[in-house]
Amino acid sequence: MLIVWITGDPVPPVRAKWAGFDAMYANVLDGVDGLRIESIDARADRLDRVPDGAGVLISGSPSSVTEIADHPWMQRLARTIVAEVARGTPLFGVCFGHQIMAHALGGEVTRNPAGFHMQSVQLAHVESVGPLAHLQANSWVNVSHEDHVHRVPPKARVIARALHDPHHALAYARHTLSTQFHPEFDREILRGYIDYRRTKLADAGHDVDSLLTGARDSFEGREVLRRWMIECVANV
């Protein structure tokens, strides 16, 4: 069983097609034997103890972990992450999920000094272990973020780096990891984000047409999520 903790919504043109991040994850995970998905809105709903045998996927969000002091729901989510990691619950954090996990477990999240990134990028370093075993240093992934993990939590291990983000994926335990990149973003979804944020990207100095042209399907990124889910299901 997969529980998705929803922490935000996609941009409107993407949401018009996909409804929410959980639908995108379901698309990536289509065909995984025995998969059931339950979605919980972490912004509003109570986060109960995760049932034994379930894995949790923490979604992306337009919210910023740097503003956690002003948002009780983020504080509640952080406390729940700590409790579930202590129980050994499999967790996978994506983008905001990557950042809130790092914050909760003793790291620090800040604005990325490299600026706002919304594009396909190549990884600069990968520790090919577990769900990332198929990735290489030149694998393409899709990103959309301004914040990043500035300081890695004490018990985390960096398992992937990008040129603009040295802590692009972290591992905490065999089935507990997080990625700054979006495994659910294909070329179409990424282009929808870029086009919607066109003005902001241009103001940040990006050539928006080049970003649109350079958007790719990231089969390697999608496979990370599939392999994590298959390992979790296999270990139930």
Q: Catalytic positions, please?
A: 95, 182, 184
Give the separation between CA 121 and CA 181, rounded to whole angstroms.
Answer: 9
Largest Cα span, the chain: 48
Tell me phi and psi for residue 177, to 5 degrees.
-155, 175
Give the separation between CA 40 and CA 43, rounded to whole angstroms.
Answer: 9
Catalogue the long-range contacts made by 122-126 (C-beta closer than 8 Å, 24 or more residues apart): 122/162, 122/163, 123/160, 123/161, 123/162, 123/168, 124/161, 124/162, 124/163, 125/160, 125/161, 126/159, 126/160, 126/161
Token readout for 46 is 């109570």
